[in-house]
Amino acid sequence: MLLIECPWCGPRDEIEFAYGGEAHIARPADPSKLSDAEWAEFLFFRSNPKGAHRERWVHAAGCRRWFNVERDTVSYRISRVYTGACEPVGEGQ
Amino acid sequence: MADAMMTADAGERAGALSRLFQGGEASTTAGPLTLSEMPVPGQINLRGNPSDAAFAEAVAKVLGCRLPVAANTVEKGGDFSLLWLGPDEWLVLTAPGAEAELSAGLVEALAGQHFAITDVTGNRALFRLSGTPAREVLAKGCSLDLHPSRFATGQCAQTLLARSGIILSQVDDAPSYDILPRRSFAEYTWRWLEDAMAEYR
Ligand SMILES: [Zn+2]
């Protein structure tokens, strides 16, 4: 069970949260210009790294706000929690 | 606020446990523990930007208390409690029946500003659990750290109790806790609490 630090409410048990997948997936500016393959790439394909992964969580049973978590997919250790107001930093962007 | 709630008779809503306690007072004890349903308070959801001085001042003027900006804290005015729900969201608890007048007062004081006021009085029931082992009873179904060094009188939280969403707030050092389940979960939450209290009988 993870202890997740909500940026607003503080540390809460994982059961209070819901997972929202990989963070910083930018929606294409003009979807109608994309091929089906490019659209599928945006919709379905994720980086699935072994190691540091930046992902979206929502504090569903608390303040109901979305934020970002950087979590190691091997150890599950959370190294960083940051809100959407922060610039994405780190590898891969 | 509790005193005002106990004496108010106009505009009082039926309790959420009328099926379990037909015509009677919804209250139960187990040794040092007491669990009671309190008269359903008026409930107003308030949203706005607390760093906007005009917003904070207008709210403070109407409610007679400061807007709680620290996470998980409660401020008390004359007849009102103001619970922090998020960085731009609060719950105002009023004496039963006082919510319409208060909403109107807030809308008037905030005219022209960016805010939202929603009367959510039908949303939640209010239970009070009191007695020395109250903390242990809640800990059976709540993952929040309720140790006095982390959660004390004057603090509140939106969290889960037995997998159902509640607002929890500690009202005194007995300790006593106010538990606000969704009205449709009131019976479930009550029965779960009764069961959790049984070992102290
Ligand atoms: Zn939160």
Confidence band of A85 (pLDDT split at 50, 70, 90):
low
pLDDT at residue A89, as a whole number: 57
- DSSP E strands in chain A: the ranges are 3-6, 10-13, 18-22, 52-58, 66-72, 78-82
pLDDT at residue A42, as a whole number: 96
Confidence band of B8 (pLDDT split at 50, 70, 90):
very low
Every domain of chain B and the residues it spans: 28-200
How far does the centroid of ligand 1 lie from the alpha carbon of residue A16, in Å? 9
Residues of chain A with Cβ-Cβ distance to B165 below 8 Å are 61
The DSSP bridge partners found for residue B179 are: B127, B168
Q: What is the CATH number of the domain that holds A13?
A: 3.30.2270.10
A66 domain residue, yes or no: yes
The strand pair at A10-13 and A3-6 is best described as: antiparallel
Spatial contact of B162 and B189, defined as CB atoms under 8 Å apart: yes
Task: Give the CATH class of B28-200.
Answer: alpha beta
Spatial contact of B42 and B69, defined as CB atoms under 8 Å apart: no
Mutate to test the interface with B, among A3, A16, A17, A67 (most CBs of B within 10 A): A16
pLDDT at residue B11, as a whole number: 56
A35 domain residue, yes or no: no
**pLDDT tens digits, one per residue of A37-69:** 999 999 999 999 999 999 999 999 999 999 999
Cβ of A62 under 8 Å from any chain B Cβ?
A: yes
**pLDDT tens digits, one per residue of B150-183:** 999 999 999 999 999 999 999 999 999 999 999 9
**What is the spatial distance between Cα B125 and Cα B188, in angstroms, rounded to a whole number?**
12
How far does the centroid of ligand 1 lie from the alpha carbon of residue A17, in Å? 9
A31 domain residue, yes or no: no
B86, B89, B158 ranked by CB distance to A61: nearest = B158
A46 domain residue, yes or no: yes
The burial of B56, by beta-carbon neighbours within 10 Å (0-12 exposed, 13-18 middle, 19 or more buried), is given as middle
**What is the spatial distance between Cα A64 and Cα A45, in angstroms, rounded to a whole number?**
27
Residues of chain A with Cβ-Cβ distance to B158 below 8 Å are 9, 61-63
A76 domain residue, yes or no: yes
**What is the spatial distance between Cα B129 and Cα B137, in angstroms, rounded to a whole number?**
9
Q: How many structural domains is chain A composed of? A: 1
**pLDDT tens digits, one per residue of B124-155:** 999 999 999 999 999 999 999 999 999 999 99
Closest CA to B46 of B78, B94, B10: B94
pLDDT at residue A87, as a whole number: 62
Domain of A16? 3-25+41-82
A48 domain residue, yes or no: yes
